[in-house]
Amino acid sequence: MRAATAHHQPVLAAAVVELLRPCLDGLIVDGTAGLGGHTTALLTAGAQRMLALDLDPEAARLLSERMRAEARVRVLHASFADLGAHVPAGGAAGVVLDLGVSSLQLDTAARGFSFRLDGPIDMRFDPTSGAPAAQIVNRMPEPELAALLRTLGEERRARAVARRIAAARPLHSTAALARVVAGAFAGRQRRHPATRTFQALRMAANAELETLRQGLDAARLALRGGGRLAAIAFHSLEDREVKQTFNAWAGAGLGRVVTRRPIRPERAETQSNPRARSARLRGFEVDSGVDPHPNHLPRREWGPEEPSGWDASHAPDHLPRRERGPEEPTGWDASHAPDHLPRRERGSQEPRGSRGPSELRGSNGSRESRGPRGPGES
Ligand SMILES: C[S@@+](CC[C@H](N)C(=O)[O-])C[C@H]1O[C@@H](n2cnc3c(N)ncnc32)[C@H](O)[C@@H]1O
């Protein structure tokens, strides 16, 4: 199977290792382990113990096989948003988050991430949970779809793309979707015209911004004093979330931002790995002896940096309430919402990604159900 041999070049691996070097003596969590590029780089640098998480069960299975002989690593099929269920508060020395999609996922047509391959319109990191992106493509009302493409894809022709998609419904394959989107553009484009639409749909299908918010908070609470969080973003909205969150933490006296400016890949890296082009790495170090739950943490808002054209009343239902302003109706009947949309939008407070007992894959790839784990249990 192609997936089993897929290779993923880790982005900014040397910079991540340098950022987390002071943490190598404690537990390091790779919250987006994928094929293990950053995990391997950190182990090579001398990491003592690692917990590798991935929301994609296939990625977790493959990594678990790869790491079978590596006693320092435990691999889990889990979301980084649920990190707190696997690591006690203060139990981690370092956390790395390398956001987005892996080469393995992009190169597997059946996962539906790629507009260059023909597959179902799925795009879920965890295909065993939630609803595929096809639900958004085929069911979301055109105005909401346009808002979603504009917001999450920063697609300037969002209305034209949404109009074409709505007219072509139902759409079942990524190739058909890519063709329909391309029809909204005249002339040659620098990038494939479906790039931004696919990005927006992937982010929506996985509720990526909300999950990132939960994951950043979970990572900070898991870190010990002096512990560090390294986050690599590939999208301006993600990077803004990381930046604003780190600044808010620093402002609340929880620690310091260790990257004055985001670290960008060198030219040599982007030449050998085009995926690295838009990468930005930021780091935060938690102070020792601070109250991890201060009541003066400022509320993070999009504020003046909101993407232009954003109209809160058109926000897709899965975006957190604070982005939608008051409880005004969205025009999108929530009964059309994909099942995986955050519970709080559906009446309960349970955060997305909470799965109850963790599914743990041991070194033999088996699934076991276990309670929260301490760092010493790796
Ligand atoms: C860019 S890849 C990481 C590649 C990895 N750093 C490497 O070097 O091989 C991002 C990975 O994050 C995973 N992912 C996305 N959202 C996640 C989440 N909420 N929790 C855990 N993993 C997630 C994806 O399944 C994907 O495998």
User: Peptide bond preceding 170: is omega within 30 degrees of 0, i.e. cis?
Assistant: yes
- Sort strands 73-77 and 223-233 into parallel, antiparallel or unpaired: unpaired
- pLDDT tens per residue across span 332-370: 333 333 333 333 333 233 333 333 323 333 333 333 222
Atom of ligand 1 nearest to the CA of 59: 27
Q: What is the pLDDT of residue 299?
A: 56
Which residues, at least 6 apart from 220, have a Cβ–Cβ distance to it below 8 Å? 229, 249, 254, 284, 286, 292
Q: Is there an atom of ligand 1 within 6 Å of 83 CB?
A: no
- Identity of the amino acid at 234: F
CA–centroid distance, 142 to ligand 1, in Å, is: 30
Q: Is there an atom of ligand 1 within 6 Å of 108 CB?
A: no
CA–centroid distance, 162 to ligand 1, in Å, is: 28
Q: What is the pLDDT of residue 192?
A: 93
**Residue owning the nearest CA to atom 22 of ligand 1:** 54
CA–centroid distance, 105 to ligand 1, in Å, is: 10
Which residues, at least 6 apart from 225, have a Cβ–Cβ distance to it below 8 Å? 90, 286, 287, 288, 289, 290
Residue in 198, 186, 203, 290 with CA at minimum distance from that of residue 241:
203
Q: Which two tokens stand for residue 217?
A: 């908070």
Round the average pLDDT of the chain to a whole number and report it. Answer: 81
CA–centroid distance, 102 to ligand 1, in Å, is: 7
- CA–CA dist 176, 222 (Å, integer): 44
Q: What is the pLDDT of residue 188?
A: 79
Instruction: Report, in this order, helix, strand and coil percent for the chain, each rounded to 5.
Output: 40, 15, 45
Helix (H) or strand (E) holding 303: none
Q: What is the pLDDT of residue 91?
A: 97
- Mutation pick for ligand 1 pocket among 54, 238, 340 (CB with most ligand atoms within 8 Å): 54
- pLDDT tens per residue across span 276-306: 999 999 999 999 877 777 766 665 543 333 3
Q: What is the pLDDT of residue 275?
A: 84
Beta-carbon count within 10 A of 235 CB: 20
Q: Is there an atom of ligand 1 within 6 Å of 100 CB?
A: yes
Q: What is the pLDDT of residue 189?
A: 79
- pLDDT tens per residue across span 138-157: 999 999 999 999 999 999 99
Q: Is there an atom of ligand 1 within 6 Å of 10 CB?
A: yes
Beta-carbon count within 10 A of 268 CB: 9
- Mutation pick for ligand 1 pocket among 30, 44, 102, 277 (CB with most ligand atoms within 8 Å): 102
- CA–CA dist 197, 158 (Å, integer): 8
Q: Is there an atom of ligand 1 within 6 Å of 59 CB?
A: yes
Residue in 175, 215, 233 with CA at minimum distance from that of residue 83:
215
Q: What is the pLDDT of residue 352?
A: 37
Residue in 120, 127, 181, 139 with CA at minimum distance from that of residue 317:
139
Please, are residues 38 and 139 in contact by the beta-carbon 8 Å criterion?
A: no
Kindly report the three-state secondary structure assignment for every residue of 318-341.
CCCHHHCCCCCCCCCCHHHCCCCC
Please, are residues 371 and 357 in contact by the beta-carbon 8 Å criterion?
A: yes
**Residue owning the nearest CA to atom 12 of ligand 1:** 32
Domains of the chain: 2-104+209-298+355-377 (3.40.50.150)
- CA–CA dist 226, 22 (Å, integer): 8
* Residues β-bridged to residue 92: 223
**Residue owning the nearest CA to atom 13 of ligand 1:** 32
Q: What is the pLDDT of residue 248?
A: 97
Under-70 pLDDT residues of the chain = 1-8, 295-378
Q: What is the pLDDT of residue 158?
A: 98
